[in-house]
Amino acid sequence: MLSQTDRAYEVIKARIVSLNLSPGDVLKETDLMEELGLGRTPIREALQRLARDDLVVIQPRRGMYVSEIGITDLKHIFEARIPLEMWAARFAAERISNEKLNEMEQIIGRIEQYEGADYAGQLMESDRQVHEIITKSTGNKFIIDGVRWLYDLTARIWRLEPDPLAGADAMLLHYRDLLGALRKRDPDLAEAVMKHHVMDFWSQVRSQVRVAHCPSGSVRHRPVQHEFHHLHAGDVCAGSGSVFGFKAYRKRQGIDINKV
């Protein structure tokens, strides 16, 4: 059972990662106490933990706010995340259970068949679950905690992208390749696929944060700052159309789903 501090930490972190609390938003202890029904001590301790995670900034005598996202920070985050996830995949290939392999296959199958309106959100959640299965299968606390921390820091940028589904097709193929490598118990292949998967995501992030205009017919909430030096929830395009599921996305991209 979660302690009150752990509960506050998980709830506030989820709001930050999902952008319900946007970069730069001011955090007030009294407001969080009322919203979560918790006392000042667990809220304060949770915020201090989030500050150590680089998701919250605490300025003495000035208050607290959700940390912003800098392109330089992202570069450094991926420099750390890529090798750590590669090690995780290697160890998982040697240690993952058949039960977890089957769970991973079910997650991949669900997102491939998903046809709901919130496809982007479902894909993000599936991605988190896949990475969590792999890292937890290492049995290494330091890898598990390290990947979780770095993953949370990069999850926000995914939600800020003008088109969060731009790499959906490749991502789902990566999942299948990862699953195949893990089932073969092939550490070298699992490591190589994971490296490609995370580096591809990093490449996608870099290309999207340099977008200087929105798709035709869409509306930007406010001007995009040069190179997205600091990214904000408002620096995104709206009204650019919806994608309803993996099959619809592939169809829109001109991909024959019967050949993949």
Q: Are residues 136 and 42 in the same domain?
A: no
Query: Are residues 17 and 129 located together in one domain of the fold?
Result: no
Whether 241 has a pLDDT exceeding 80, the answer reads: no
Same domain, 56 and 77: no
Task: Judge if 204 and 215 occupy the same domain.
Answer: yes
The pLDDT value given to residue 26: 94
Q: 106 and 13 in one domain?
A: no
**Res 145: pLDDT:** 95
CB 59 within 8 A of CB 96: no
Q: Is the pLDDT of residue 240 over 80?
A: no
**pLDDT one-digit tens code per residue, 43-90:** 999 999 999 999 999 998 888 999 988 777 888 999 999 999 999 999
Q: What is the pLDDT of residues 138-197, one digit of tens each?
A: 999 999 999 999 999 888 888 777 677 777 888 999 999 999 999 999 999 999 999 999
Are 90 and 53 in the same domain?
no
For residues 178 and 247, give the distance between their C-alpha atoms in angstroms, rounded to a whole number: 21
We report the CATH number of the domain holding residue 26 as 1.10.10.10
Nearest of 240, 248, 53, 66 to residue 169 by alpha carbon: 248
Q: Are both 112 and 137 inside the same structural domain?
A: yes
State whether 42 and 94 are in the same domain: no
For the chain, what is the mean pLDDT? 81
Total number of domains constituting the chain: 2
Residue 147 domain boundaries? 70-259
Show which of 67, 85, 107 is a domain's final residue. 67
Q: At what angle do helices 141-160 and 4-17 cross, to 10 degrees?
A: 40
What 8-state DSSP symbol labels residue 55? S
What pLDDT is attached to residue 251?
44
Residue with the two structure tokens 């058949």: 98
Place of tokens 């509960």: 7
Last residue of a domain, one of 67, 100, 120: 67
Q: Are residues 145 and 19 in the same domain?
A: no
| Separation of alpha carbons 15 and 222, rounded Å | 22
Mean pLDDT along residues 115-134 = 90
The whole model's pTM is what? 0.75
> pLDDT tens for residues 22-39?
999 999 999 999 999 999
> Which carries the bigger pLDDT value, residue 40 or residue 226?
40
**Burial 29-53, CB ≥16 within 10 A → b, else e:** eeebbeebebeeebbbbbbebbeeb
51 and 123 inside one domain: no
How does DSSP classify residue 224? P
Residues 128 and 30 in one domain: no
Q: Of 67, 82, 109, which closes a domain?
A: 67
Say yes or no: 209 and 96 in one domain. Answer: yes
> Is the pLDDT score of 6 beyond 60?
yes
pLDDT of residue 174: 95
Nearest-10 Cα torsion for 162, 164, 170, 172? -170
Span 211-231, average pLDDT: 36
Residue 209 binned pLDDT confidence (cut-offs 50, 70, 90):
low
Q: Which domain CATH number covers 244?
A: 1.20.120.530
Retrieve residue 206's tokens.
């870099």
